[in-house]
A and B are shown apart, each in its own frame.
Chain A
């Protein structure tokens, strides 16, 4: 099968290359057929993107793309004045990913090197993910073989127990987010020492392959590598490779469009305020590609009625929209893909924790002769579907569910847009009721350490079963005659809020801390303050989406004296689901207002080009969390206001055949910068080449953020709200989120595209 796939993919690549270098075929095809006019056009392109960041250059993506746009057009059909059937077909193939081990710099499929965000997966870079809690039980060895029999979690146990070889680790995993408090990446076990600036953040293991993970309904975490290479991911697999397929019709002043399509609202570039109907797939190429190319088309029905003048308003049009597609969130990419968003990698981290750590431990056959170990302890001894793994420690941790709404009529989405002119101002009002497309992590359970949280949590007297003890060394305990698991850490799995309430109501040593957390409505006080006593040992999350209503208004105006177009857009979402680490389960709601002001001006810069203006555009965005709670390191992972400024220019030379374009984006909260520059040369009506670069400069110390119930695993413990020292050293999923755009730093790239359009 693999050979067949390889042959097919090589064939596809060769076919693409052959087309790209072939003799041009006739331009846009328009013929009378199918009883109407059939029009076909499109392009074929080959784009190579070389990673340059972090001092490491390699071919990150090499995408061969064919896009065919076809339509059959009719006039005066029944009640319709015009009727069209339209499709956009776009198969593609990323050769650098699929042949990652050979041409992709040893990344991607089959590669052994880490991605832009990661380090090699080993004990030094991720002690917990690699070796579990071995480091607490003995010397902090640097090899998986230093702790051959402990069952404290850690994916390397597959190797030490003889179930996999060393290459399995490098082929499938990387360590991400391993940053010290001063922002530098650490790469040695000295991170464990806690001294100076080298103390630990929270390095986590991420999956780089298409490995199947135990994460129910989770999108894009375990796509088949060929699907990743073909961009046939969960975000884009809806009748792939048909990106769009719809019917267009006009009847008088009405316009209808039904099918898989993109509907664009709003007036902003780079970021979306009103343009929320279709989710965006940021996992393909961040936001560098046109939204046209990375919007995820949805099955929708749209009807627009142009009703002319009403009172002082003119050019009125109202659009009704029904999105009856299965809910689709924003795409973040497969974690192994070249431009996977950090959040996609973290998602795989949490899914991997659920896959490898949550289950009960087992041992390899090489351990069966150890004292106390029984044949039943051997992995696989319970049959082909033996759920145990050598990496497990028996506690539910990580991500087990992406709780997406199922398709039902009640879960479909809808909106309305009203556009009109009032004098010289062009207005648009929108209202969209649908599910937020940005995922929100929720702790639905936490693992409370009964031995330290005593007084509030009753000790379970019957340890030994799943999810009631953190099993610290299956073989060793058995060897010591503790076959029932005595000596392990007793754990109770609880609802996060119930856990804090119970401890606060008890008489344990952590009760005052829990009471303080409740009094101040700040769960972070408890999670982090109690971390030194190992009060909470992680927990299990799911991903939540919530239906909400977003109302927007925008207008544009041309100011004739300065020759400037002014664009203003705003939206407000009520009770938007957000993450707030001060909440016990990390979930909160807030009204969110977003606004943007943009100015556009074609400007003559005669000394640079006397024949053509430069198009200059600047925008200022603000996202205002009206019910914001927290500071830089706890609570919302964003500031109350998140300001972003953008600027871009487009120039044209040689009769628009040479088009330089540059842009800059600055995010205030994370102090991150993104710069891009590219130039396209349209050689003739068919051929064009384009090259450019993108670079991201990360912000300062924006990676630190409360890691909630996982605070215990951040070693060594350094400060925390509860200790009176608010210097947070922890880094969690929200550390990356708090870095904003800067989280994708170190993925600088140089790209080159060859394109043939027909």
Chain B
């Protein structure tokens, strides 16, 4: 008996250096530092299995590696190819190069369209470059914005299994193939989502880079975002609408439609950093970060080479692994900029958060956050798909309320965002189906992004 325990302890110590410590921001920064000199020992086309896991550890933050690496892992290495933005974005970047500036309070000024700042000039540890990176992130290439026909919010807990959960048999079992692996499912929420960008639209050269020339419904607006829920019954009909003003200093306006009240309720900005209906996400965590930059302090950390699902081979995210929260997909080594986000509000639940953004596409694949005690709390893994890929086009399916995405957009589009709460051993998977970056007519947009639309709920 004693011998068994001793062996186990020894084994634990033996494994520890491989697993790595992942508790504090310092641990993450140590990984960033180590990553600088790491050289990939894998090549395109390799499949990483457990026996080769050490090859990929330098290219994954330790807390993430601990989840990605497991007995039975099947990580296909595949270069993402050219996922640079559309030419209109590049042209706008070039046209307005050097014009954008950062005000003393961090606000972006003199910005028109394209990428505001050249990240190649950023210096690690720089606060100003942190602000610039934050604005680069904010104005990454998104075209019209994302529309999702059906979002699942799956509350998963580590351990156990979910074969008996109703989602596996719902609608003839059409979701069963997406949720392989383990993990016990608790609740599953369902609903649509849409964001529409109204200003700084690189492709709208003829209308001053704004929808409708920035008049009427588009006036003073950066974007409007609708997040709805259709199931389960107790939250069906709940909807959130956020209006982000084009003035970076102006607070968002936010409303919620509460079915049990049958009326629209103005909501506080505090709600945006609060758990969204019990999920591990907040409205501010969408995309990695969806808040107002001026509500935070920023610092540029540097670059890393990191593995990510940057160009999914799947139409829909397929999960696997012992807890069912890792995407079974192609992984590409991507150069990413890292910035540190520190909330200004003392009441914010995070003490800080690290975000990554792809140097080429501008998209985020990974982020982590720390609680008020500085202890690692959550990490987010995002799976992206490329709008010009055929598997992306297949999203236009009635099965998931999909619509068409025009050719040639070259948007690294959202496929899923999955957050793991390491302190509570749980996560929330957010696979998005029926995704699109559709052409949008202002009249159509108004139908769902006007606050008065919410009153039409039932």
A residues adjacent to B (C-beta < 8 A) = 24, 26-28, 30, 41-43, 69, 81, 86, 248, 250, 252-253, 255, 257, 262, 264-267, 269, 275, 290-292, 304, 306, 308-309, 314-315, 317, 419, 421, 424, 426, 556-558, 560, 563-565, 567, 600-604, 606, 610-613, 652, 654-657, 682, 684-686, 688, 757-758
- Count contacts between A and B, CB distance < 8 Å: 167
Q: How far is the CB of A37 from chain B (nearest CB, A)?
A: 10
**Selected contact of B219 from candidates A266, A314, A611, CB within 8 Å:** A314
Stretch at the interface among B16-24, B226-234, B410-418: B226-234
Interface residues of B in 238-284 (CB under 8 A from A): 250-251, 253-254, 259-263, 265-271, 274-275, 277-280
Complex CA–CA separation, A565 to B268 (angstroms): 6
Q: How far is the CB of B149 from chain A (nearest CB, A)?
A: 13
Indicate if the CB atoms of A26 and B266 lie closer than 8 Å.
no
- B187 contacts A by Cβ under 8 Å: yes
- B109 contacts A by Cβ under 8 Å: no
B446 partner residues in chain A, CB cutoff 8 A: 253, 306, 308
Closest residue of chain B to A302, judged by CB? B456
Contacts A558-B266, A601-B268: A757 and B232 contacting too (C-beta < 8 A)? yes
Q: How far is the CB of A384 from chain B (nearest CB, A)?
A: 50
Indicate if the CB atoms of B155 and A655 lie closer than 8 Å.
yes
Complex CA–CA separation, A304 to B450 (angstroms): 13
Stretch at the interface among B163-171, B300-308, B358-366: B163-171
Complex CA–CA separation, A122 to B259 (angstroms): 48
A306 partner residues in chain B, CB cutoff 8 A: 446, 450, 452-453
- B52 contacts A by Cβ under 8 Å: no
**Selected contact of A602 from candidates B268, B426, B451, B458, CB within 8 Å:** B268
Indicate if the CB atoms of A613 and B270 lie closer than 8 Å.
yes
Contacts A86-B458, A657-B187, A688-B234: A611 and B275 contacting too (C-beta < 8 A)? yes
Complex CA–CA separation, A28 to B278 (angstroms): 20
Complex CA–CA separation, A306 to B260 (angstroms): 24
Q: How far is the CB of A469 from chain B (nearest CB, A)?
A: 56
Contacts A27-B232, A604-B347: A424 and B253 contacting too (C-beta < 8 A)? yes
- B372 contacts A by Cβ under 8 Å: yes
Contacts A264-B262, A315-B452, A655-B278: A685 and B187 contacting too (C-beta < 8 A)? yes
B263 partner residues in chain A, CB cutoff 8 A: 264-267, 275
Closest residue of chain B to A81, judged by CB? B447
B187 partner residues in chain A, CB cutoff 8 A: 655, 657, 682, 684-685
B250 partner residues in chain A, CB cutoff 8 A: 424
Indicate if the CB atoms of B233 and A42 lie closer than 8 Å.
yes
A252 partner residues in chain B, CB cutoff 8 A: 443
Interface core residue of B233, B265, B349 (most chain A CB under 10 Å): B233
B254 partner residues in chain A, CB cutoff 8 A: 558
Closest residue of chain A to B401, judged by CB? A37
B271 partner residues in chain A, CB cutoff 8 A: 602, 613
Contacts A424-B253, A604-B347, A757-B233: A291 and B451 contacting too (C-beta < 8 A)? no
Q: How far is the CB of B378 from chain A (nearest CB, A)?
A: 10
A424 partner residues in chain B, CB cutoff 8 A: 250-251, 253
Contacts A421-B451, A556-B266, A558-B268: A41 and B231 contacting too (C-beta < 8 A)? yes
Indicate if the CB atoms of B261 and A291 lie closer than 8 Å.
yes
Indicate if the CB atoms of B259 and A292 lie closer than 8 Å.
yes
Indicate if the CB atoms of A317 and B450 lie closer than 8 Å.
yes
- B435 contacts A by Cβ under 8 Å: no
B251 partner residues in chain A, CB cutoff 8 A: 424, 558, 560
Q: Please, what's the 1-or-0 string for B97-122, where 1 marks a CB less than 8 Å from any CB in chain A? A: 00000000000000000000000000
* 6 pairs of residues in contact across A and B, judged by CB atoms under 8 Å: A69-B233, A257-B456, A264-B262, A314-B217, A419-B451, A610-B371
Complex CA–CA separation, A680 to B280 (angstroms): 20
Indicate if the CB atoms of B232 and A685 lie closer than 8 Å.
yes
Indicate if the CB atoms of B268 and A28 lie closer than 8 Å.
no
Interface residues of B in 425-446 (CB under 8 A from A): 426, 443, 446
Excluding A315-B450, A560-B251, A600-B265, 8 further A-B contacts by CB distance (< 8 Å) are A27-B166, A41-B233, A262-B262, A558-B253, A611-B424, A613-B271, A657-B187, A682-B187
Interface residues of B in 24-70 (CB under 8 A from A): none
Q: Please, what's the 1-or-0 string for B213-236, where 1 marks a CB less than 8 Å from any CB in chain A? A: 001110100000000001111101
Closest residue of chain B to A316, judged by CB? B452
A419 partner residues in chain B, CB cutoff 8 A: 451-452, 455
Closest residue of chain B to A30, judged by CB? B171
A257 partner residues in chain B, CB cutoff 8 A: 456
Complex CA–CA separation, A685 to B254 (angstroms): 27
Q: How far is the CB of B190 from chain A (nearest CB, A)?
A: 8
Complex CA–CA separation, A684 to B184 (angstroms): 12
- B188 contacts A by Cβ under 8 Å: yes
- B71 contacts A by Cβ under 8 Å: no
Indicate if the CB atoms of A426 and B451 lie closer than 8 Å.
yes
Indicate if the CB atoms of B253 and A655 lie closer than 8 Å.
no
Complex CA–CA separation, A567 to B219 (angstroms): 25
- B94 contacts A by Cβ under 8 Å: no
Q: Which 6 residue pairs across A and B have the least CB separation, nearest first?
A: A656-B278, A317-B452, A757-B233, A655-B278, A560-B251, A602-B270
**Selected contact of B266 from candidates A262, A275, A426, A656, CB within 8 Å:** A426
Q: How far is the CB of A209 from chain B (nearest CB, A)?
A: 34
A292 partner residues in chain B, CB cutoff 8 A: 259-262
Contacts A27-B170, A558-B253, A613-B274: A685 and B188 contacting too (C-beta < 8 A)? yes
- B186 contacts A by Cβ under 8 Å: yes
Indicate if the CB atoms of A28 and B236 lie closer than 8 Å.
yes
B275 partner residues in chain A, CB cutoff 8 A: 611-612, 652, 655-656
A610 partner residues in chain B, CB cutoff 8 A: 349, 371-372
B426 partner residues in chain A, CB cutoff 8 A: 655
Q: How far is the CB of A163 from chain B (nearest CB, A)?
A: 51
Complex CA–CA separation, A713 to B361 (angstroms): 87
Complex CA–CA separation, A41 to B259 (angstroms): 14
Q: How far is the CB of B21 from chain A (nearest CB, A)?
A: 23
Indicate if the CB atoms of B232 and A612 lie closer than 8 Å.
no
Closest residue of chain B to A43, judged by CB? B233
Closest residue of chain A to B263, judged by CB? A264
Q: How far is the CB of A646 from chain B (nearest CB, A)?
A: 14
Closest residue of chain A to B346, judged by CB? A604
Q: How far is the CB of A341 from chain B (nearest CB, A)?
A: 22
Interface residues of B in 315-340 (CB under 8 A from A): none
Indicate if the CB atoms of B219 and A612 lie closer than 8 Å.
no
Indicate if the CB atoms of A564 and B233 lie closer than 8 Å.
no
Contacts A86-B458, A655-B155: A28 and B216 contacting too (C-beta < 8 A)? no
Complex CA–CA separation, A78 to B394 (angstroms): 29
Indicate if the CB atoms of B266 and A565 lie closer than 8 Å.
yes
Complex CA–CA separation, A655 to B451 (angstroms): 28
Contacts A41-B236, A684-B186: A563 and B455 contacting too (C-beta < 8 A)? no
Q: How far is the CB of B370 from chain A (nearest CB, A)?
A: 12
Complex CA–CA separation, A685 to B234 (angstroms): 9
Complex CA–CA separation, A565 to B274 (angstroms): 16
Contacts A304-B452, A315-B451, A685-B187: A565 and B349 contacting too (C-beta < 8 A)? no
Complex CA–CA separation, A686 to B267 (angstroms): 28
Indicate if the CB atoms of B455 and A309 lie closer than 8 Å.
no
A291 partner residues in chain B, CB cutoff 8 A: 261-262
Complex CA–CA separation, A684 to B280 (angstroms): 17
Indicate if the CB atoms of A309 and B216 lie closer than 8 Å.
yes
Indicate if the CB atoms of B232 and A28 lie closer than 8 Å.
yes
Indicate if the CB atoms of A563 and B232 lie closer than 8 Å.
no
Indicate if the CB atoms of B268 and A564 lie closer than 8 Å.
yes
Complex CA–CA separation, A613 to B230 (angstroms): 24
Q: How far is the CB of B23 from chain A (nearest CB, A)?
A: 17
A600 partner residues in chain B, CB cutoff 8 A: 265-268
Closest residue of chain B to A755, judged by CB? B234
Q: How far is the CB of B292 from chain A (nearest CB, A)?
A: 10
Complex CA–CA separation, A590 to B308 (angstroms): 71
Contacts A24-B166, A27-B232, A292-B259: A563 and B186 contacting too (C-beta < 8 A)? no
Complex CA–CA separation, A269 to B260 (angstroms): 11
Indicate if the CB atoms of A655 and B186 lie closer than 8 Å.
yes
Indicate if the CB atoms of B265 and A27 lie closer than 8 Å.
no
